[in-house]
Copies of this chain bind each other. A is one copy, B any other.
Amino acid sequence: MRYSSETVERAIHELSKLPGIGRKSAQRHVFYLLKVSEEEVNALAQSLIDLKIKVRHCSICFNITEQDPCPICTGETRSRSIICVVEEANDVVALEKTGEYKGLYHVLGGVLSPLDGIGPDDLHIKELLARVDKSVQEIIIATNPSTEGEATAFYLAKLLKPFNVKITRIARGIPVGADLEYADEVTLSRALEGRVII
């Protein structure tokens, strides 16, 4: 269904470009925005514009940041001997939330995915290799345990081998709180492979 107002149509069109937002949801959002105050709509619009003005990628680790280098790369309490390699900036947030990890990060900006035309040159792999000097003792490869994530981990491990650094991969196994009965076979065999002495 189309609206007589071109402005409404354009807002619906722009909103439905967002991931997971179809025309129906975009319509709901537009009708919501037509009802709220002008200040609220402007605050939303400005916050989106600011994303592109203020937020950039850290020139060292490619995490999102407002200052370059980012607070993690410059953090005095962070251990410089360990780098955790992740796919996206959200992964950094998830890992930081655990409060367990005190090293540095390196955000690849995606995973190798030949079907989508994403090769090594499209990820920040060269920049990772450039970071590996004598001060680095361990590199944790924390890409997702998906097909692409595993392939990327394997590729990185091969590339990093000559650097004489400890290369580790995050453990894959049964999630805490989950049930063995419902775990898929691949996860279960990974959990067996990765078993530890108690």
Please report A residues at the B interface, Cβ cutoff 8 Å.
Answer: 1-8, 10-11, 13-15, 17-21, 25, 27-34, 38, 40-52, 54-55, 64-66, 70-72, 88-90, 93-94, 96-97
The reply to whether A4 and B47 form a contact with Cβ atoms under 8 Å apart is no
The 5 closest A-B pairs by CB, nearest first: A45-B45, A14-B44, A11-B47, A14-B47, A38-B52
Chain B residues whose C-beta falls within 8 Å of the C-beta of A42 in the assembled complex:
49, 52
Which of A52, A64, A70 counts the most chain B CB atoms within 10 A? A52
Given pairs A8-B55, A10-B50, A14-B48, 17 additional interface contacts (CB within 8 A): A2-B93, A3-B64, A4-B66, A4-B72, A5-B54, A7-B47, A7-B66, A14-B43, A15-B44, A19-B29, A20-B28, A21-B29, A34-B52, A34-B55, A42-B52, A45-B46, A45-B49
Q: How far is the CA of A49 from the CA of B66 in the complex (A)?
A: 25
Q: How far is the CB of A106 from chain B (nearest CB, A)?
A: 16
Chain B residues whose C-beta falls within 8 Å of the C-beta of A90 in the assembled complex:
27, 31
Which of A46, A51, A71 counts the most chain B CB atoms within 10 A? A51
Q: Which residue of B lies closest to A28 (CB)?
A: B19
Q: How far is the CA of A18 from the CA of B25 in the complex (A)?
A: 10
Q: How far is the CA of A110 from the CA of B25 in the complex (A)?
A: 19
Q: How far is the CA of A5 from the CA of B52 in the complex (A)?
A: 12
Q: How far is the CB of A191 from chain B (nearest CB, A)?
A: 26
